[in-house]
């Protein structure tokens, strides 16, 4: 199952009782009545609260181990659309920098030699000139080659181009975080079918 997550919703419970995307997916599965048990479903990827886009769920315990192995093997091709602050001078770049927890702020991650290997491929789609009081920005396609917490946000901030609206690694904006999980592609571990899923971007560059 794939769901297009809205901004402001968490994927997993955080102990506060706040309704989550997983709760919504469980309700949807029950309403569909396809014979799957809502208690067996598990999210296969996580998005930050203010990130929008594709979240995948496995629906039964039989296929869950195969999907778990695919996550470990980075077998899901994931592309994001984002707006970054400033004019990015290069057209395409592999950002290869380890990411670790920030010892001074438990909410944050940081680039550091002690961190886990992390790779993000970034391609500039369009450079947006300053207009109507808005600063120069870069519209980018981002491919995650690994899956660390806040990876895209940390890597772009380390290149001095934090994402627009990033309240942790950049500057908060009324528009919110401009990061969208646009597509996921993978080969189904049971059927062998190639699957490509896209969620339309809720904002325009």
Q: Where in the sequence numbering do the catalytic residues fall?
A: 48
Query: Residues of 135-150 as b/e, b for ≥16 C-beta within 10 angstroms?
Result: eebbbbbbbbbeebeb
What DSSP line would sit under 12-28, residue for residue? S--SS----HHHHHHHH
Q: Give, in order, the Cα–Cα distances in Å from 167 to each of 60, 62, 87, 97.
A: 37, 40, 20, 22
Which bin fits 61, alpha (ψ -120 to 50), beta or left (φ > 0)? alpha
């Amino acid at each position: 199952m794939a769901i297009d997550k809205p901004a402001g919703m968490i994927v997993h419970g955080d102990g506060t009782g706040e309704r989550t995307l997983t709760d919504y997916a469980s309700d949807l599965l029950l309403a569909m009545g396809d014979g799957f048990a809502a208690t067996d479903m598990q999210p296969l990827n996580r998005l930050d609260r203010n990130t929008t886009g594709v979240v995948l769920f496995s629906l039964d315990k039989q296929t869950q181990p195969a999907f778990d192995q695919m996550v470990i093997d980075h077998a899901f091709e994931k592309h994001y659309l984002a707006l970054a602050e400033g004019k990015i001078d290069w057209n395409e770049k592999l950002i290869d920098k380890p990411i670790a927890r920030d010892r001074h702020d438990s909410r944050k991650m940081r680039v550091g030699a002690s961190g886990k290997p992390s790779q993000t491929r970034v391609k500039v789609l369009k450079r947006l000139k300053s207009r109507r009081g808005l600063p120069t920005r870069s519209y980018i396609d981002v491919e995650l080659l690994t899956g660390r917490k806040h990876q895209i946000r940390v890597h772009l901030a380390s290149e001095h181009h934090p994402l627009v609206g990033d309240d942790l690694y950049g500057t908060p904006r009324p528009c919110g975080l401009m990061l969208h999980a646009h597509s996921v592609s993978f080969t189904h571990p049971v059927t062998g079918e190639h699957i490509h899923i896209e969620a339309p971007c809720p904002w325009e560059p």
